Homo-oligomer: A and B are copies of this chain.
Amino acid sequence: MKPTVMSHPPTGGCVFQNHRRPLLVKKFGGTSVASVERIRNIARIALASQRAGNDVVVVVSAMAGETDRLLKLAHQMLPLPDSREMDVLASTGEQVSVALTALAIQAEGGQAFSLLGHQLPVLTDSAFSRARILRVEQGPIRRALAQGRIVVIAGFQGVDPDNNITTLGRGGSDTTAVAVAAALNADVCEIYTDVDGVYTADPRVCPSGRKLNSIPYEEMLELASLGAKVLQVRSVEIAMKYEVPVHVRSTFSEEEGTRIVAREQVLEARKLMGLACERGQARVELLGVQCSPEQVAEVTDLLAELNVSVDMLCHARCGQESTRTDISFTLPEGDLLRVRPHLGQLSKRLGARELRVSSNLAKVSLVGIGLRSDPGIAARLCRSLNRQGIAVSGLVVNELRVSCLLESGQADDAIRLLHDTFELAGETSAEALTASAPA
């Protein structure tokens, strides 16, 4: 799944002068638009920013719970609903939000103009329910801004080249916001949320979790991929590609949150950024597979065909018999339903001696830089967990992360333990760690 190339959009035949006012894109998620009163709060934030001299573009999600309500209706109709019609249905949630937000801004004395995905347009490919943005038109936004309006854009939705409504998948409004900020060359894309930034570990699990002031794109990408729910992965990819400064901050306070920026702009010289945890993981093990250059490709082809996102794929030679190997991988438990019917056949085709499926697992990941080249970190992680009686049933290490697989019930303990072990609570822990790692 290579990211689709998103070129900087043409300006629709109009020539715009470089704007001189700073341009801010502000994205508000479902909890920030959950009620009339909260939408008023968004309006006040947007207007205060405009009055302070900025051009303001607001991107909103559906009211919390609305998307689930709509999907439930569809599933009542049909267990596996057609994805084109699902997107027509699901995109109404954001449409309601933009209208109410525009009205709220007007109620507070401002001027607002809403734009839906197909009006802008936010052009996407045709992969319904998980479409990727190809291009964001900036003309309509520029025109409305030039008239002194706050532009309110529906997140999550787009339109494909055949004029079908598409949606971008869970968290897609983050991606809309970053893509809009990239197209407009905005000064910052502010992601307003109900937490006040990106933490070294989820503070609900790990009380010593500390808010990061800044984090490089690469590490944020890993954290987002590994279960940190603050941002959709795709939004970080686009931010990184177009170097859009992103600011994750709280809707309910004016405090500084976490800046996601290029590595050279991160002021804290930290090696380790934080811990992420994905629960609800399952693991498939194909043991004693006959060696052939095609084995792993067969597994990954099948999983790609089923549209399952796989992690921690390992294959290792079995001890004595050099003609046999083990292949294992993890996937979200929710995808197991789709994958399971195919596993028996796959196992037979590969000549596997045994097929094992385990679930109720969690993947705990330590994210930082240079982790592959520092084997001391993986070793220290395993030793620390084992000492507390937490069994690690799988481990992968790459440049930016060390992930271990363990029982779901032990995930919280593991996070607290590793947060202490790697001294993530301290401002300078990373430096200290680097020094002590080889020990």
Interface residues of A (CB under 8 A from B): 36, 39-40, 70, 73-74, 76-78, 81-82, 84-86, 88-89, 91-92, 95-96, 98-100, 102-104, 106-107, 112, 114, 116, 118-119, 163-165
Contact = CB atoms under 8 A, between A and B. Distances in A.
Given A36-B77, A119-B163, A163-B119, A106 B82 contact: yes
A95 B117 CA distance: 14
A116 B91 CA distance: 12
Given A86-B103, A88-B114, 15 more contacts: A74-B99, A77-B100, A78-B104, A78-B107, A81-B106, A85-B99, A85-B102, A85-B103, A89-B95, A89-B100, A91-B95, A92-B95, A116-B165, A119-B163, A119-B164
A297 to B, nearest CB: 35
7 contacts: A74-B103, A78-B106, A82-B106, A85-B98, A89-B100, A91-B95, A95-B95
Most B C-beta atoms less than 10 A away, residue of A82, A88, A89, A100? A88
Contact of A103 (B40, B82, B119): B82
As for how many copies of this chain the complex holds, the number is 2
B92 A74 contact: no
Contacts of A119: 163-165
A88 B116 contact: yes
Nearest to A103: B77
A293 B351 CA distance: 100
Given A76-B36, A89-B96, A96-B70, A103 B81 contact: yes
A119 B92 CA distance: 15
A192 B415 CA distance: 60
Contacts of A40: 77
Contacts of A163: 119
A205 to B, nearest CB: 36
Contacts of A39: 77
B98 A88 contact: yes
A198 B106 CA distance: 43
A384 to B, nearest CB: 51
Contacts of A36: 73, 76-77
A84 B115 CA distance: 11
Contacts of A84: 114
A4 B40 CA distance: 39
A88 to B, nearest CB: 4
A70 B74 CA distance: 20
A79 to B, nearest CB: 9
Contacts of A103: 74, 77-78, 81-82, 85-86, 89
